[in-house]
Structure 1
Amino acid sequence: MQLSRRELIGALAALPAVSSARAAAPSGYPARDYDRAIVIDGLGGLVDPYGKEGDPRFSARGWAELRQSGVSAIHCTVNEVGNEPDVADKTLRNLAALEEVIADNPDMFVRATRVADIRAAKAAGKVALYYGFQDTSLIGADLSRIELYHGLGVRIIQLTYNKRNLSGDGAIEPANAGISDLGRRTIEAIEAQKILLDLSHGGQRTVAEAIAHAKRPPIISHSGCRALNDNPRNIWDAEMKALANKGGVFGIYYMPFLVANSKPTREDLLRHFDHALQICGEDHIAIGTDGMISRTVIDDSARAAQRKFHEERTKKGIAAPGEGPDIFNIVADYDTHLRFRMLADDLSARGWPAARIEKLLGGNLVRLYTEVWGG
């Protein structure tokens, strides 16, 4: 059976929690500032590490950790990536499953389609979930589908995922041919529906040409700085600058692509945030972990799941350089549900002022979403 990324995350999260030496809440960044900030994972996931199979309710412990994390909203990928013929059907099932989670836990989660929903969730002590695609392969040449998916709650659409689709070349497509005429029309259709255009996983020319063609500010929701590690999943300074000049936002992930050995440390992650600040400016940076909130426990079961996950991605041709059968998608020093609090503390210790940290935590995404979606 093919193991999807969502299934892998679920398998890892279902393992027992292990205490972390850095699990205590940090103290360097003022707690009052963190508590009032809207904290957004610009590309994440929702998993209950402690839930019982068949129980539609989120577990008390899982919810407690979400609350402790301080996260206000999570961008959840709902589509299946790749050019297989059944990606649209699988995507509709994913959408229905997440809708059921929200319906079964109305005291915890809300579906967000506008910024007002995120603000209301924050005020009510809930977590807002909003939907995004990481590929346009399920749209193809039928651009009327974009309006359909907007009606189902999708508010972010990524143009390509690593390989080539009808819209353009992804990050690991060797031709680096950029976007197609259909890709340009796809961007126009995305913007016409007031959906945010995401250029993560795009090839260098795809990213550059899409930014130039876009009329609204786009996002690169989860990536790293290629000047610090020359990996195709990362973005060069020129495109980062162009994105910021267009009013867009660049999100840093907690992923192995941050360093050449695929095992990034706390300092490696912080260097990427510092570089993004230098290139993009403090109004155009954000967090997009590309992971889950809870801690990943690495044992024999997790290692087996990772091997199978990598085999399936390699078979489909979508594995990027830096992935591997024994490489986990984490920054080990931040592998705790308190990762956003810890990041704020560490950036404060590096001299980042509180107002800048608040922009990074979610303020910049609130501004961008308001501009594209409306309030």
Structure 2
Amino acid sequence: MSRTPLIVNALGQLDNPNSARSVAAAGDLNPSGEQITVDARTLAEARASGLTAVNITLGYVMGDLPPYEHTLHEIDVWDDVIARHPGDLLKVTGVEDIRTAARDGRVGVVYGFQNAEAVGDDVGRVATFAERGVRVVQLTYNQANHLGGGSMAPGDTPLTAFGREVVEALNEQHLMVDLSHSGERTCLDAAVHSRAPVSVNHTGCRALTDLPRNKTDEELRLVASRGGFVGIYFMPFLNPTGHARAADVVEHLAHAVNVCGEDHVGIGTDGPVTAVDDLDAYRERLAEHVARRREAGVSAAGERPDTLPFVVDLRGVDQFRELIRLLERRGFSSERIEKIMGRNFVDHATRVWRS
């Protein structure tokens, strides 16, 4: 491409996975239950990658911490992280902030949830989260909650009555309704019930790899038909063997474009820019990590001790440039690539956030 497009990661991480967890700058837990580290390398490599903005996961996802209190605490933590790095980071509360980040060479940080458990039984908390700068709310993680079914929940749980109330509150506050990790019935129900377009910020296509974390063509088509957004992740669920490669990412993007149209597809890598340096050591720790998630009841089908939770040949500082190169080789036009790399997310945010 002749120019670098906006690059917006609909779900990713700002983290250096190689740093000692005991000195984590952010001091909190990611969805894997590990400390995150926002250090000089994290910031330098995120900017060097061309990343314009990223929807990060903060707040309660799983575990024994009190969901509401822990979520408010993590908002405080990330507010502090951004305040300490004003030359590198910008909190995104509206679309104009993404454009400002692009102009200034900073990385926009979108506050997002991967579980709406923190709402508790008080739908009024949605307004509190909106006031604090949260802009994306995923209804469920892999397990069911009181809003609806997760992708690994037994049965095909519908969106609950309270889930409908929460969707309505998210619409009222102009927050994204994210249906990643949801079960099929909950996804379809929420997409229909929502007055605003919904999103699936990080997923794959089940027509290519039949795993619960991937979305069916029916789900993809419905989300797109109502003006929504679908982000394809860089995860093992893109290949039946669990050993996903960059070529798999391209195939899932191509399928999503065929089903949804080129105006509704983007990327949501579910990973950081900074790559794991020592893959051998990482593989040795992976079995423990997978076992811990299984014990907590939050793992997804396709997670195994031998499956890396990222695409090994599409990681590090050059991951976005490499994906662009592969999409060009696939025959995608410059305009289509610009849409996938960030413009479609910005357009979706414009429709939902309205600012």
Question: Same fold by TM (over 0.5)?
Answer: yes
Structure 1 residue 336 displacement after superposition: 2.0
Partner of 1:44: 12
* Cα-to-partner distance string for 1:229-281 (whole Å, 9 max, x where unaligned): 11000000011011010000110000011111111112211110110010000
Say whether residues 1:176 and 2:176 are aligned partners: no
CA RMSD of aligned residues (A): 1.9
What one-letter code is carried by the residue in structure 2 that aligns with 1:372? V
Structure 1 window deviating more from structure 2 (232-241 vs 46-55): it is: 46-55
Structure 1 residue 66 displacement after superposition: 1.8
* Cα-to-partner distance string for 1:139-188 (whole Å, 9 max, x where unaligned): 13210111111111100101111111001111011211211111111100
SS in 1 for 2:277: coil
SS in 2 for 1:95: helix
Structure 1 residue 195 displacement after superposition: 0.5
Partner of 1:291: 271
Determine the C-alpha separation between the residues in 2 that align with 1:315 and 1:297: 28
Structure 1 window deviating more from structure 2 (94-103 vs 80-89): it is: 80-89
What one-letter code is carried by the residue in structure 1 that aligns with 2:8? I
What one-letter code is carried by the residue in structure 2 that aligns with 1:219? S
Q: 1:230 aligns with which of 184, 188, 210?
A: 210
Kindly indicate whether the alpha-carbon contact (under 8 Å) linking 1:256 and 1:322 is maintained by their aligned counterparts in 2.
yes
Kindly indicate whether the alpha-carbon contact (under 8 Å) linking 2:14 and 2:38 is maintained by their aligned counterparts in 1.
no
* Cα-to-partner distance string for 1:304-345 (whole Å, 9 max, x where unaligned): 442332222111111001112332211111122211111111
Partner of 1:81: 61
Partner of 1:332: 312
Kindly indicate whether the alpha-carbon contact (under 8 Å) linking 1:173 and 1:203 is maintained by their aligned counterparts in 2.
yes
* Cα-to-partner distance string for 1:83-119 (whole Å, 9 max, x where unaligned): 7462223222322221121111111101010011111
Q: 1:353 aligns with which of 326, 330, 333?
A: 333
Kindly indicate whether the alpha-carbon contact (under 8 Å) linking 1:171 and 1:233 is maintained by their aligned counterparts in 2.
yes
Counterparts in 2 of 1:170-319, with a 5 A limit?
170-299=150-279, 301-319=281-299
Q: 1:160 aligns with which of 128, 140, 150?
A: 140
Partner of 2:34: none
Determine the C-alpha separation between the residues in 2 that align with 1:159 and 1:62: 29
Partner of 1:20: none
* Cα-to-partner distance string for 1:212-239 (whole Å, 9 max, x where unaligned): 1111000000000000011000000011
Determine the C-alpha separation between the residues in 1 that align with 2:277 and 2:16: 14
In structure 1, stretches of 5+ residues that fail to align are 1-28
The count of corresponding residues between Structure 1 and Structure 2 is: 343
What one-letter code is carried by the residue in structure 1 that aligns with 2:301? P
Determine the C-alpha separation between the residues in 2 that align with 1:58 and 1:335: 18
Determine the C-alpha separation between the residues in 1 that align with 2:186 and 2:275: 34
Q: Which has the higher contact order (CA 8 A, sep 6+)?
A: 1
SS in 1 for 2:309: coil
Structure 1 residue 55 displacement after superposition: 6.7
Determine the C-alpha separation between the residues in 1 that align with 2:147 and 2:38: 38
Partner of 1:143: 123
What one-letter code is carried by the residue in structure 2 that aligns with 1:235? K
Structure 1 residue 294 displacement after superposition: 1.2
What one-letter code is carried by the residue in structure 1 that aligns with 2:334? A
SS in 1 for 2:11: strand
Kindly indicate whether the alpha-carbon contact (under 8 Å) linking 2:221 and 2:260 is maintained by their aligned counterparts in 1.
yes
What one-letter code is carried by the residue in structure 2 that aligns with 1:199? L
* Identity between Structure 1 and Structure 2 (%): 37
Structure 1 residue 302 displacement after superposition: 2.0
Mark the CA change 1:59 to 1:209 in structure 2 (over 3 Å): closer, same or farther.
closer
Say whether residues 1:64 and 2:49 are aligned partners: no
Kindly indicate whether the alpha-carbon contact (under 8 Å) linking 1:140 and 1:167 is maintained by their aligned counterparts in 2.
no
Mark the CA change 1:301 to 1:88 in structure 2 (over 3 Å): closer, same or farther.
farther
SS in 2 for 1:131: strand
Determine the C-alpha separation between the residues in 1 that align with 2:255 and 2:279: 34
Structure 1 window deviating more from structure 2 (66-75 vs 296-305): it is: 296-305
Kindly indicate whether the alpha-carbon contact (under 8 Å) linking 2:16 and 2:272 is maintained by their aligned counterparts in 1.
no
